[in-house]
A and B are shown apart, each in its own frame.
Chain A
Amino acid sequence: MCDSGGALRTRKIPVQVIQLGVVFLFLGVGMFLLRQRFVPESFGDLGHYRANAVGAVAAHPIQYAGWQVCADCHTDEVETKKRSYHRTLSCEVCHGAAWAHANEETDETPPLPTQRSLCLQCHSYLPSRPTGFPQIVEERHEPAKLCHTCHNPHDPAPSETPESCSACHAAIVRVKAVSHHAPLDCQVCHETPAQHSVLPRSNLPRKPFEREFCGKCHAKGAKPPNVVRGVDLREYDIRRIDLDTHGGTLVCWQCHYQHSPEAR
């Protein structure tokens, strides 16, 4: 073994192998140089991508400043808004992107939008919006009047004195206002003791608890009074059902929400 190893070491390397070696050397050097030329800087530092690209993406200019920046100067507006129904809104929802206004020397101020369309973008009635979210039907809600004549955008609750029920049950009143039961006063179904507004828990209003109550208007052949608390029911096409067959043993409110009944 030792002898043959010694013989191999001293044997002359064939010229073909040397030529092939030179070719491979050139290929290797060529590959190395090409790789240096074409693989971009920082590629592969963090993974199969250019690590510098992360910094490039992060260097994109900012447009929206964030409401905390607005609060530094516009304390009154932010303070009003903090206690209002619009407390979850960032200033830039209505006033638009304001990074330049907040951080750079510029004469441009963010717009003061007054058009109805801006408010309606959120508050026009769409059935897909969540139940209880305040919505209006544009044609029926003070047509052509600008919203800010009655509502302060930073504190949008209506300026008038609240009606007796909606003062506390505003969400229900709002839902009912756009439903088929809109013309009905709360008292039609809820007979309310006078003391309810003073001691609400110990003077609970009446709630209907039997099918026949709804049947007073909706049963086949029922004759509701023509006028209920100032509303002329003859104007309305009341949906009629047969109390004996409709809904089996269920009571009405197991399928229908009385403040927004879906049946046409």
Chain B
Amino acid sequence: MPKTYERREFLADLAKIPCATLLLGVTGPLQALASEGGDYDPTEHYYAMGIQLDKCIGCGKCVQACKTENDVPEEPFYFRTWVERYIIYADGEVRVDSPEGGIKSFPPLEEEKQILRTFFVPKLCNHCDHPPCVQVCPVGATFKSQDGVVLVDSDYCIGCRYCIQACPYGARYLDPRSKTADKCTFCYHRITKGLLPACVEVCPTQARIFGELGKLSTPLNRMMRTSNIQVLKPHMNTEPKVFYSELDGEVR
């Protein structure tokens, strides 16, 4: 005679289900918190950066600080942030240069042609809300963290370079030492400890403003309210989180 399932037993099992789900729901985030270390809660932050182009003097201090802070190779083709100089001539021609990423500032302009306007544009990873680099990664080695920063897991990256090709902003490079993709992390190791990213820390004119989205009364929020805000390549639908003020229409 097969064992019958008593009504009492059934109800007891039914009560176990919510308990088990609750337990799983609690331990998941707890594990994540333990891996972060300290009392930093990534779900309470959502980082972004503002860049005021009318303040950038093209001194290249940010490029140098980024290389020092993040141990980026010294060769002039590896940059997590770099500065471009746009020169727009009276005849409509546009020239962009960035000698060694602008790390030692820029040489004087010795132009025969009449210049209409010229300015500097600092660039870095835009930490897109819809990052194309994350979509193409075949192994899940690059990802958007809970606080909105796009990171690379260098222990898990296989160095296939799909992400480098997929980034519309050219913000990624292959580290020649580890043969893995690398990029700006908003200085994740600093911001999680309450410090500013190195490029923001050293910017002498405060052209770069670091902050969070959705927080009131912050320098970033003030800048976004009072300036004409643009992002790079909005038609790509990547929803960048690096916001430029007074961005010229010629900037790509």
Contacts and interface: CB of A to CB of B under 8 A. Distances in A.
Interface residues of B, number: 60
Contacts, number: 148
B156 interface: yes
A63 interface: yes
A110 B208 CA distance: 24
A130 B42 CA distance: 37
Contacts of A89: 204
A53 B151 contact: yes
A24 interface: no
Interface in A53-101: 53-64, 66-67, 86, 88-90, 92-93, 96-97
A63 B118 contact: no
Interface string B117-157: 01110000000000000000000111111100001111110
Interface string A9-23: 000000000000000
Chain A interface residue bracket vs B: 35 or more
B202 A90 contact: yes
B59 A63 contact: no
Contacts of A253: none
Contacts of B28: 45
B128 to A, nearest CB: 15
Interface stretch (A119-127, A202-210, A232-240): A119-127
B188 A129 contact: no
Given A93-B61, A122-B204, A62 B193 contact: yes
A53 B109 contact: no
B60 A121 contact: yes
B5 to A, nearest CB: 19
A255 interface: no
B118 A127 contact: yes
B155 A53 contact: yes
B32 interface: yes
Contacts of B154: 56
Given A54-B151, A127-B109, A130-B54, 10 more contacts: A49-B141, A49-B153, A53-B151, A88-B204, A90-B202, A92-B65, A97-B198, A125-B108, A128-B85, A128-B119
Top 9 nearest A-B pairs (CB, nearest first) are: A53-B153, A49-B143, A60-B189, A128-B118, A48-B140, A55-B35, A122-B59, A121-B105, A63-B69
Interface of A: 40, 42-43, 45-64, 66-67, 86, 88-90, 92-93, 96-97, 120-122, 124-130, 133
